[in-house]
């Protein structure tokens, strides 16, 4: 009868110790691979009008404008638009989160969708890409800043 309390106490100590060890490991596990710089470029491009004359690969008579770099939970997003005759002829995300594998996976499909939607809508009034809410919000913010700098809607 005296061995029952000892084994119960020993079992409880093992369970408590094991639970504490698992909790300790969970707190040490990184919840995001997104640490440090989260961009495709070394630094944000300066916002505003970049060029009003045709540059390398730009249509004649076009204006190239950078939006501001918009910080998001996973890293900054910045958009560059090319405008010709008052229409958006190109929209390019020049900075967006790429640090982790999940960032690259999400943005590999989200960025092209956002760029296509920009050309269709001819404004920053575009839908959020499902699964890429933060990137979509940052993209829209930077796009609107670029359109404001170009004096478009």
Does pTM surpass 0.85?
no
Where exactly are the structural domains of the chain?
Answer: 1-31, 48-149
pLDDT digits 0-9 by tens, 74-121:
999 999 999 998 999 999 999 999 888 899 999 999 999 999 999 999
Maximal C-alpha separation, the chain: 95
Report whether 7 contacts 15 (CB < 8 A).
Answer: no
d(C-alpha 37, C-alpha 135), whole Å: 15
Topology (CATH) of 48-149: Sufe protein. Chain: A (3.90.1010)
């Amino acid at each position: 009868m005296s061995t029952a309390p000892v084994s119960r106490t020993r079992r409880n100590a093992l369970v408590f110790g094991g639970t504490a060890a698992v909790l300790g490991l969970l707190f040490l596990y990184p919840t995001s691979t997104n640490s440090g710089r989260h961009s495709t470029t070394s630094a944000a491009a300066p916002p505003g009008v970049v060029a009003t004359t045709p540059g390398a690969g730009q249509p004649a008579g076009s204006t190239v404008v950078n939006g501001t770099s918009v910080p998001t939970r996973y890293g900054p997003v910045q958009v560059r638009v090319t405008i010709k005759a008052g229409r958006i002829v190109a929209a390019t995300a020049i900075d967006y989160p790429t640090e982790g594998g999940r960032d690259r996976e999400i943005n590999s499909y989200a960025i092209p969708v956002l760029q296509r939607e920009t050309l269709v809508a001819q404004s920053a009034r575009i839908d959020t890409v499902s699964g890429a809410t933060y990137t979509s919000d940052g993209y829209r913010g930077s796009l609107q800043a670029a359109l404001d700098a170009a004096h478009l809607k």
